[in-house]
A and B are shown apart, each in its own frame.
Chain A
Amino acid sequence: MASESILRVDAVEKAFGGIQAVDRCSLTVLPKSITGLIGPNGAGKSTLFNIIAGLYRPDGGEIWFDGTRIDGLPPYEIVHLGLTKTWQIPHELRNLTVLENLVLAAKGNSGEHLLNLFFRPRAVKRDEKQWRARAREVLKLTQLDGLANEHARTLSGGQKKLLELSRALMSDPTLVLLDEPVAGVNPALTGSLMDLIEKLRQSGRTFFLIEHDMNVVMNRCDWVIVMHQGRRIAEGRPEKVKTDPVVIESYLGG
Chain B
Amino acid sequence: MTLAATGSSGGAKDVAQRKLPWSQLIAFVAIAGIVLAGVLAGALAGASPQGILTNVGFYASIAIIFAVLALGFNLQWGYTGLFNAGIAGFYLIGAYTMAIAITAPSPPIVIGGIPVYPGHLGGYSLPLAIGAILAMFAAGAAAAIIALPALRLRADYLAIATLAFASILQIFANNLQSVTGGAIGITGIPKPIAFLSADAPFLNAITIVGIGSAILLAFLLLLQFMAESPWGRVLRAVREDEEATMALGKNTFNYKLQAFALGGALMGLAGALFAVTLGYVSPSSSFAPAVTFSVWVMVIVGGSGNNRGVIVGAFLIYGLEWLSVQLKDYVPIALAAGLPTLHLLLIVTGFIAVITVVLIVLLSRYRPTTAGGQVLRKIQGHGWARTGVIGAFALYGLGWAFVFLEQYKPGAIGDTIFYTRLMLIGVLLIILIIYRPEGILREHKRVLR
Contacts and interface: CB of A to CB of B under 8 A. Distances in A.
A111 B233 CA distance: 10
Given A114-B231, A117-B229, A93 B241 contact: yes
A193 to B, nearest CB: 20
Interface string A55-68: 10000000000000
A104 B248 contact: yes
A43 B445 CA distance: 41
Nearest to B244: A91
Given A107-B249, A111-B3, A93 B240 contact: yes
B280 interface: no
B219 interface: no
Given A95-B236, A114-B231, A167 B250 contact: no
Interface in B229-261: 229-231, 233-234, 236-237, 240-241, 243-252, 258
Interface string B249-283: 11110000010000000000000000000000000
> Which among A84, A107, A117, A125 has the highest number of chain B CB atoms within 10 Å?
A117
Nearest to B247: A75
B448 A99 contact: yes
A167 B2 CA distance: 25
Contact of A53 (B236, B247, B258): B247
B448 A149 contact: yes
A76 B230 contact: no
Contacts of A79: 247-249
Contacts of A167: 248
Nearest to A98: B448
A76 B237 CA distance: 14
B415 interface: no
Nearest to A91: B244
Contacts of A87: 244, 247
A149 B447 contact: yes
Contact of A109 (B10, B230, B443, B448): B230
Given A96-B237, A100-B233, A114-B226, A76 B250 contact: yes
Contacts of A114: 226, 231, 258
Interface in A6-29: none
Contacts of A103: 230, 233, 448
Given A85-B247, A91-B244, A114-B258, A97 B447 contact: yes
Nearest to A132: B448
A22 to B, nearest CB: 19
Interface in A78-93: 79-80, 84-85, 87, 91-93
Q: How large is the interface on A (under 10, 10 to 19, 20 to 34, 35 or more residues)?
A: 35 or more
B446 interface: yes
A108 to B, nearest CB: 9
A112 B445 contact: no
A104 B233 contact: yes
Given A93-B240, A103-B233, A76 B251 contact: yes
A151 B446 CA distance: 9
A124 interface: yes
Interface string A106-149: 01010111100100000011011000100000000000000011
Contacts of B13: 149
B2 A125 contact: yes
A117 B236 CA distance: 17
B236 A93 contact: yes
B445 A93 contact: no
B234 A112 contact: yes
B249 A105 contact: yes
A119 to B, nearest CB: 13
A216 to B, nearest CB: 23
A94 B234 CA distance: 13
B225 interface: yes
Contacts of A80: 249
A171 interface: yes
Contacts of A107: 249
A55 B249 contact: no
Contacts of A99: 448
A99 B447 CA distance: 9
Given A95-B236, A104-B248, A111 B448 contact: no
A184 interface: no
A93 B225 contact: no
Contacts of A109: 230
A164 to B, nearest CB: 10
A204 interface: no
Given A76-B251, A112-B231, A117-B231, A95 B240 contact: yes
Contacts of B449: 132
A128 B240 contact: no
B448 A74 contact: no
Contact of B241 (A75, A76, A91, A97): A91
B243 A124 contact: no
A112 B233 CA distance: 8
B447 A75 contact: no
A149 B3 CA distance: 16
A113 B231 contact: yes
Contacts of A149: 10, 13, 445, 447-448
Contact of B230 (A105, A124, A171): A124
Given A132-B448, A149-B447, A104 B246 contact: no
B301 to A, nearest CB: 19
Interface string B321-351: 0000000000000000000000000000000
A107 B248 CA distance: 8
Contacts of B226: 114, 117
Contacts of A125: 2-3
Interface in B199-244: 225-226, 229-231, 233-234, 236-237, 240-241, 243-244
16 contacts: A55-B243, A74-B251, A76-B249, A76-B252, A85-B247, A87-B247, A94-B241, A100-B448, A104-B245, A104-B248, A111-B231, A112-B230, A112-B234, A113-B231, A132-B448, A149-B13
Rank and list the top 6 A-B pairs by shortest CB-CB distance, nearest first: A111-B230, A79-B249, A91-B244, A93-B240, A75-B246, A105-B248
Interface of A: 53, 55, 74-76, 79-80, 84-85, 87, 91-97, 99-100, 103-105, 107, 109, 111-114, 117, 124-125, 127-128, 132, 148-149, 151, 167, 171
Given A103-B230, A117-B226, 4 more contacts: A84-B247, A96-B240, A132-B449, A167-B248
